Every structure is written in structure tokens, then in C-alpha cells.
Structure 1
């Protein structure tokens, strides 16, 4: 299917260049194939005959919205700085559509030279032999080495003794706060920063004060989606809980710890009502942006949304320590090398040059909220002055990624099943014990499915 799509797209782009198809028709047709309009334009430009004799590399990613616009800016900057390399970027639909197409392209022998993958998806690709490991000696030539990354993130890129991913960022679960409401609630210090609060009582007390000051809610977060998983996994990990055995073949859920985390979540929406129940993603963002909640728990990628909201004063802080040891759920956008039928040394070198450029220039990427993985950027004074984005950068050393199961990772079935089970608890339709039983049963069914690449 992917090879057929590429042939169709190449033919369409040729028709545009010779005047037999309009750009409008081209855009409508490519969107029907699953590409965004911005990706279609990028593809059209990339399909034009390149000038010069340098290598041409294809790059696939799944970035939309503000991330997509920022990535296109970075791609254009790379192209201008490296005229000897012809970059052909393609943006595909986020989530399973993207990963399905990447799998098909790699299995069919027509993959891109470089692609983006969430770090939590890499293990499955490695198990299917769809990725090539990076040559550490070659990476070193482009200033990509272990000492340029936080150890936990770099180690996560390993499978066996080989590196299969180069992390661009870490994107953790964070806490946004309305400065005006928090000031009114007495939650800011003399410098106007949020006073730290922790523990079950400390968090609930802060949200109760914030609820009274806001006239709405203390905190909001998505209920009808996958955010309940991110919240649960952060809390459960703070209790030291594991989802699977180390080989990811059997369930290792600790019912007592899981119920403790889920009971706290139910306290927020049902018992104390400091949090809104039964709202979707857009609803949670709108409530916070509309001044109806003092706090928002979400990914850090919404920072641009609130920065663009005129007259809205907000800031950001790490997700709080509620239980024993600080942990917070996160993932990492990473560069991978899909398996090639035959590796072209010139294109591989150009691919590494592209990855290196994106890492070294990831300050622009950081402005969208993500914590840069490349330490020379994260440790720079420029980044430290970037507010509120740098306020939560310290958590990158204490993040927990989704387990390495075939059905796990960002946008995965694990997250979907967790969301379905836990929202019943958050909406008062089920007890923590009942919701946990639903989640356990769903995971057990997924574990029982034996795929060809599983050992």
C-alpha cells in the first residue's frame, strides 16, 4: 500500500509540475490519502527535481498543530543551512495511522531514510527487525554521544547492547497554573512563583483553596481519553508499582498500590469535587484557558495555546509529588533509522547530519514545550531563561515511560484501555476496585495475543 501511495503521489506531483493537475486538486487528493495539507505542500516541494548533485533523504514525522508548524520551520532552516542535502519531509497522521504506514513501508522495503518514533514504540519495531541500530562511531563524528544526554533517556534508547533511537526531547506530564487565581488563593510566594505542595493532603488542600478562589475548579484534566492513564501511571509509579514483569510477558499489577492511586484520583472528582468530571481534552483546555480552573494537568505541548491567549497570565510547574518517590509519566520523540534493503553510505551520512542539526537547534523545538534531550541545549543559559518551559526541565531525570509491550506506548491500545477503565472511576460509575479489574482483564487479553515477532 505504501509503495503504491508513493507511486501515485509521484505521478500526481509530476502532473502539477507540467500543468495537468491544479495544486488545489493535488492537496484534496493527498489529504484523502491521509496526509495533512501542510505535509502535502511539503511533499510537492520535495518531489520537485532537486538541484545539484548532493544526496536526497526522506524524513517522516507525525507532528501536527503547533509542533508541526515548528518542525517545518526547523526543516526549512536545515535546508537553507545545508544546500548540499536535499531533504524530503513528509508528515502523516498522528498515532496508529502513522505507525501502521511506517511499519508497512519498512516491511515493504520502501522506508524513509529517517523517521520520528515515540521512544515507547521503538521496542516493538526492534522486535520486528524494522529498525537499524546506530553506529556509535559514526554518531560521534556528528557530536552525538552518550555524554550529550541524560543517562536514563540514553539507556532507554538501547535494546540489547545497541542504540536504536536518538531522543529529540522528553515530554512529561506537567501542571499549568493560573497566576491570578493562585495569587488570590495564597498559593504564590513573594516572588510570584507557585509555592511547592506535596502529599495527598497538601495537594488536596491546595486545590480546595484554588477551587474557592476560582469559583470553578481547583484542577482540570481530560477524563474522556488517555490522560487518566498518564495520571494513574505517574501516581502508581510514585508508589513503586510495576505493570508487567521485567520481560513484559506477564502482568505484575500490585492491586494495593493501584487502588491507592485510583482512590486518590476518585477523591479529586467524586469526593472533594476539586476537579471536573466527565470532560474531554478540549473541554479541560477550555476550562483552564477560560479562568474556570486554577490548575491544569496535561502534556507540556499546550504551552503555545496559552501563550497565544491575549491577557492570560499562566505559568507551569512539575506534576506534584503525591506519594513516596518522585516519578512522572513521559515519552520522548526520537529519531530512528528504518531498515533499508541496502544502505547508501552517502544518504546515511546525510541522515546523521540532519539528526545532528535538529538536536543542536532544538531550542526552537523547546519553545513548544518539550524538554530538549540534547544537554548542550538544555544546559544553555538561553534555555534556562525560557519561561515557563524550563520550569519543569528537572523532571526529565525522574520520568517513567510506558512499558515495552507490543500494545503499549503513546497512542496505544494500553492507553486506550486504561482510559476506558479509569474514566468510569473518575465519573463515579465504578469503584477503584471495579475499574482496576476492568483494566487488569483488558491487559490479560492483550498479553494472551501471540504475535509472529514475539518470543
Structure 2
């Protein structure tokens, strides 16, 4: 894809026997990393867009999530062979800025899409800007971890209020008490999450760090000042839960989900993207209990929840025509106004009008945990942070082993500080 003209498929000639000129169809190449339920829903959205916009045709390609996708984007954009529109994690925005792979989104672009910055959840639109306030992508959702729980098991306890929501979990001690109760009442792994690998452990660690108002990176310094102590505390909390048998030993991602589905965990902390999994299990009558999900409770000094955002972005392509850019922004605007279908995947739409709509308020548990958008904590703004970044490697190689007793929390935090600082220096 080097020439813009080659992708505008209509000629100016009249079609014989028809009452008007041939329709000029702008071809847009779309790249994403969306698999599973996300992929199904995005494909359906693209198909609907194409049906409603005969003048624009989106052809979509899905690549492997994580580093393979972003490596493909970097190399293809560098040689002018990138797509016209793509999905992008906002946690990787600093890396994108260093690589120069994104085309800034101007106010004129937003006007073409029928959008403005005020249309979006504040935390998402902030994460989509560079340090000078230039918008680099258009946020499509906020996806975060939530607390899934077994309502049936907690019925009649002090941890469930009259509306069936979690209550009384205002400290680490409160949650430990609930998990201990669950252990004593037959739940072999009371709190399940991905304890093997960097993803799940990172989300838990970062949530606990930010709930202490801790910062991983401050002015280019990793775990500066008392942030090191806060990191140690976050690791120690997880380590204590593991040593008491309250979280599973090295559970891979699928296993962590299965522990909750099988009734072995009373609580499951994972991304909002698992809502369809549990909805499907309920509809198939294979779950055996009633479940729900709330925002992760505030256990420490302040409310905070790890979060990221899928955004829609335009690659930095000097050969992109004005017609293609207009078509891309038209697609981005349409996707926002139709993001209720995306919310069905568990994500919180970044487009505020969708979240405020009556239709969204009927989506449960989505509408209940949508409050977490106000407490969303995105990854540190750094080239070593974000999806498939060195931070994930450090968590996998140091923090996860410490949680499982192979390294002291203090040593893990100090080594993480040293390794990550070397990358920044």
C-alpha cells in the first residue's frame, strides 16, 4: 500500500444505464489484535459500518496480540506499508511517540468524526495525549480489572449488601478475613488471578502500589524515595496471601478463570473482558452459582485500579490522501457512536454518551463497575511501560517469583528498581 490513488476505486466516468456517476469507494485497510469475543464483536461492527457506508470499505486484518502486533506496526509504518486505521493500547503511547508511528489527531479530524475531546471519559482522553496535550489516538474504551465474586456463596454474610454488591472490604485485613473464611468453608483457592506470568501479577501489583499513592517511575527515576517501600508492601501482601493458601500457586491465565468457574474461588480479579465468559456460562447453565462484578475495593489509602484503553489510531503515513483520512475519521466517529456493542464485551466505552445511555445502564454488571473509570490508573508514561514492555518482563522474572516464595519482597523490589533504571539510563 504505497499509493493513495490506487485505493480509490471509482472512476469519474458515468456508468451507462445508471442515473448518476459511479460511486467513489475509498478502501481502508484496518489492523487490530482482537481475538476471541473482542474479535467477533469488532468484526460485526466493521461489517455494519461497511453496510451503512457504501462509499467506504474497510478490510480488516487481525494479528497476534502484544509484541508481534506492535513490531509489525513499527516495521510496516517505517517503510510506508502500514494500515489506514488500527487499534492501539494507550499504555504504549510513549513507545509510539518514540517510534513515530502515530499521526496526531487534530481538532479538524475530530470535527470530521463528529467528535470533540469533551465527549470522552477524562482518564481515557488524558492517556491519549502526549506531554504537550496533542491528541495521538481516539480512545475507544477503558478496560480494567474488576472483582468477580460468587454471590451465592456470600449470600447472608457481612460482605454482601442488600443490593448484592460487595461491602465491608475497606482494608487488606478485611479482604484477608473474607478469604480466610472462604478457605475454611471449602474454597480451595479463595482469590484467583493469573499468578503465573507478568500480566495478572502486574495488574494486581500496580493496583496495590497505586492504592498507596505509590509511583513506579517519577521524573525518570524508578521507585524513587518511599516508593520502594510501597512496592515492597504490595509484593508482601501478595506473598502473605500465597503463603496462607488464599491465592493459587502459579496459576496460568486459563487456570485462574477455571478456578472461579468451578467454584474453587469465591473471588476472581481479572479484566472486564471476561464478563462474556461468565455470561455465556450462566446462559449455558454450567456455572452452578450466581456471579457479579464490582470495582476492585479500596483496600489501602486511595481508590485505584489498573487500567488500559483500546484506542483507534491513524498510522503516520505521508502518502495517506485527504479522502482516506476523512474516511478513517468517519469510521472512528461511527465506532464511538455505536460502542454499545463493544460494551457487550465487558469494556467501558470511552465515549461518555454511551455510558450515560439508558441502554448501557441496563447492562449488568457493566453499569455497576463503570465507576472505576474515575479511578483508572494507566501504566506509567514511559518507554519501558505498557503492553508487552520491559515492566511486564520484570514482574514476571522478579515479582511473581517473590510472591511464590523464591525471592524476598525487598530483594525483588530492589532488583526491579535496578534493572528498570538501567533501561531508562
Tell me the TM-score normalized by structure 2. 0.89
1:380 match:
357
Correspondence 1:262-411 to 2 at 5 A: 262-270=235-243, 272-309=244-281, 310-311=284-285, 312=287, 313-411=290-388
1:447 match:
424
Q: Is the 8 A contact 1:184 1:213 kept in 2?
A: no
Return the alpha-carbon distance in structure 2 between the equivalents of residues 142 and 416 of structure 1: 38
Q: Count matched residues.
A: 398
2:204 match:
231
Match of 2:64 among 79, 86, 93: 93
2:43 match:
72
Match of 2:217 among 204, 220, 244: 244
Q: Is the 8 A contact 2:222 2:417 kept in 1?
A: no
SS in 2 for 1:340: coil
Give 1:129 shift: 2.1
Give 1:86 shift: 1.1
SS in 2 for 1:444: helix
1:17 match:
none
Q: Is the 8 A contact 2:129 2:135 kept in 1?
A: yes
Give 1:62 shift: 0.4
Identify unmatched segments of 5+ residues in structure 1. 4-50, 449-455
Match of 2:86 among 105, 115, 119: 115
SS in 1 for 2:341: helix
Give 1:409 shift: 0.3
Deviation sequence 1:188-246 (CA, Å, 0-9, x none) = 22333332412111111122223333432221111111211111111111111111123
1:257 match:
230
SS in 1 for 2:46: helix
Give 1:412 shift: 1.8
Correspondence 1:179-190 to 2 at 5 A: 179-183=151-155, 185-190=157-162
Change (3 A) 1:342 1:431: same
Give 1:185 shift: 4.8
Per mean C-alpha deviation after superposition, the further-off stretch among 419-428 and 75-84 is 419-428
SS in 2 for 1:132: coil
Per mean C-alpha deviation after superposition, the further-off stretch among 162-171 and 272-281 is 272-281
Q: Is the 8 A contact 2:159 2:169 kept in 1?
A: no
SS in 2 for 1:263: helix
Return the alpha-carbon distance in structure 2 between the equivalents of residues 191 and 400 of structure 1: 27
Return the alpha-carbon distance in structure 1 between the equivalents of residues 46 and 223 of structure 2: 42
Deviation sequence 1:275-328 (CA, Å, 0-9, x none) = 222211111111111010100011111111111113322110111111101111
Tell me the TM-score normalized by structure 1. 0.84
Return the alpha-carbon distance in structure 2 between the equivalents of residues 361 and 108 of structure 1: 33
Return the alpha-carbon distance in structure 2 between the equivalents of residues 360 and 423 of structure 1: 40
Give 1:368 shift: 0.7
Give 1:128 shift: 2.4
1:25 match:
none
2:7 match:
none
Give 1:103 shift: 0.5
Return the alpha-carbon distance in structure 1 between the equivalents of residues 410 and 224 of structure 2: 16
2:134 match:
162
Give 1:249 shift: 6.1
Q: Is the 8 A contact 1:222 1:280 kept in 2?
A: yes
Are 2:26 and 1:55 aligned? yes
Return the alpha-carbon distance in structure 2 between the equivalents of residues 249 and 324 of structure 1: 23
Per mean C-alpha deviation after superposition, the further-off stretch among 128-137 and 364-373 is 128-137
Give the superposed CA RMSD.
Answer: 1.8
Give 1:104 shift: 0.7
Q: Is the 8 A contact 1:172 1:299 kept in 2?
A: yes
Change (3 A) 1:214 1:388: farther
Q: Is the 8 A contact 2:105 2:136 kept in 1?
A: yes
Q: Is the 8 A contact 1:182 1:210 kept in 2?
A: no
Give 1:387 shift: 0.6
Deviation sequence 1:384-440 (CA, Å, 0-9, x none) = 110112221111111111112222101222112112211112212222112212322
Are 2:402 and 1:425 aligned? yes
